[in-house]
Amino acid sequence: MIFKSLIYIYVFKYKTLHILMNYTLNQLQVFLKVVQCESVTKAAEELHLTQPAVSIQLRNFQDQFDVALTEVISRKIYITPFGREIAVAVEKIIQEVQAINYMTLEYKGRLTGRLKISSVSTGKYVMPFFLTDFIKDHSGVELSIYVTNKKKVIESLEKNEIDFALVSVLPSQMNIEKLDLLQNKLFLVGNSKAAIESGVKSQDAFQELPLIFREKGSATRQTMEGFLKNNNVAVQKKMELTSNEAVKQAIMAGLGYSIMPLIGIKNELSNNELRIIPMKGLPITTNWSLIWLKGKKHSPVSLAFLDHLKRTKNQIISQRFSWNEKY
């Protein structure tokens, strides 16, 4: 939520106490998001604001300092050393404001706090369904979901920046605990006009197909490459794209084929835009798992969410994901 209340902070520079300055919480939130994203465009997207609105707030915040917080070189924004110091202070201020809001709600007897989850990109088709009722029941909980590839998800978990991570391939060298949520199936997928004869194909067929891969760091790519390597398949042609949505669009356009998670192609299969191509050794099956660092001291919100999942996951699977049993 963007607040309009004024925040008063003291700014120290070179051991000199500067004049008391006024900032809106809106400006602080915008500046911090720009620092985190290192991009005005990405910050605008995450804050659900227009790019001009973010630029105006950033400029108004900068106007109160006689030292540059950012600089633009060749259309790319860079955060100055001074700007990064200010960002640390700004983050603490925002956390204090949130703490005040949480304390107010706690006083009223409501569960409050922040729940931070990082999810691999295809997990966006999974995680919302396991969150809906929990968030409805606990309106004092502030939810943050970060959607990216597996490499970045695991990095955020290692740094203890999040409460939970949703993955389809477990990290091999981390001490974690997990709660399995849902089975994950990966199939070879082509568009509805793919000129491939019916029947189950051998892995040799891959050598004749132009294949589309996710970017390095993606769990889907890791699984696909593992399957090809284990079956001694030499790939002749390949394309690399940075999201499952881009891969789907490329397949539908007839650019190639890919091994994809079933969970992300439900609508395209129903609309006959994509089709599953039977292949020996497929589908690959893994689990969608919620993981966290072993021994992590969970907040009351995190503990309540885990309890919610353990009690309701089977019902959610039955209501929301029974469709994938036919594949």
**262 and 293: one domain?**
no
Residue 170 shares a structural domain with residue 314: yes
Final residue in a domain of this structure, among 81, 106, 131: 106
Domain of 212 in residue numbering reads as: 185-285
Residue 212: name the closest of 232, 230, 235 by CA: 235
Q: How would DSSP label each residue in 179-206?
A: EEEEEEEEEEEEETT----SSPBPGGGG
pLDDT of residue 196: 66
Question: Strand 113-120 and strand 141-148: pairing?
Answer: parallel
Say if 1 falls within a structural domain.
no
For residue 108, pLDDT beyond 80: no
Q: Of the residues 86, 106, 126, which one is the last residue of a structural domain?
A: 106
Condensed to tens digits (0 to 9), the pLDDT of residues 199-221 reads 556 677 777 788 999 988 888 99
**What is the share, in percent, of the chain residues with pLDDT greater than 70?**
88
Query: What is the spatial distance between Cα 226 and Cα 180, in angstroms, rounded to a whole number?
Result: 22
Q: 156: domain CATH number?
A: 3.40.190.10
What average pLDDT is seen over the chain? 86
Count structural domains, the chain.
Answer: 3
Which of 106, 138, 170 marks a domain boundary?
Answer: 106
Residues 233 and 196 reside in one and the same domain: yes
Interaxial angle between packed helices 40-47 and 25-37, expressed in degrees from 0 to 180 and rounded to the nearest 10: 120
Q: Read off the pLDDT band of 5 (50, 70, 90).
A: very low
Asked if 132 and 101 sit in the same domain, the reply is no
319 shares a domain with 273: no
Mean pLDDT of 292-307: 91
Please give the average per-residue pLDDT across 262-271, as a whole number: 93
Is the pTM for the entire model greater than 0.95?
A: no
Q: Output 95-103 pairs: Cβ under 8 A, ≥24 positions apart.
A: 97/3, 97/7, 97/25, 98/142, 102/140
In this predicted model, what pLDDT tens digit does every residue of 222-258 receive, in sequence order? 999 999 888 888 776 678 998 889 999 999 999 999 9
Lowest mean pLDDT among 7-16, 42-51, 87-96, 238-247: 7-16
One-letter amino acid of 276: I
212 and 250 in a single domain? The answer is yes
Q: For 6-20, 130-144, 282-296, which range has the lowest pLDDT when averaged over its residues?
A: 6-20
Indicate if the pLDDT at residue 15 is higher than 50. Answer: no
Lowest mean per-residue pLDDT among 11-25, 29-43, 281-295, 300-314: 11-25
Are residues 194 and 144 part of one domain?
no
* CA 252 – CA 264 distance, rounded (Å): 14
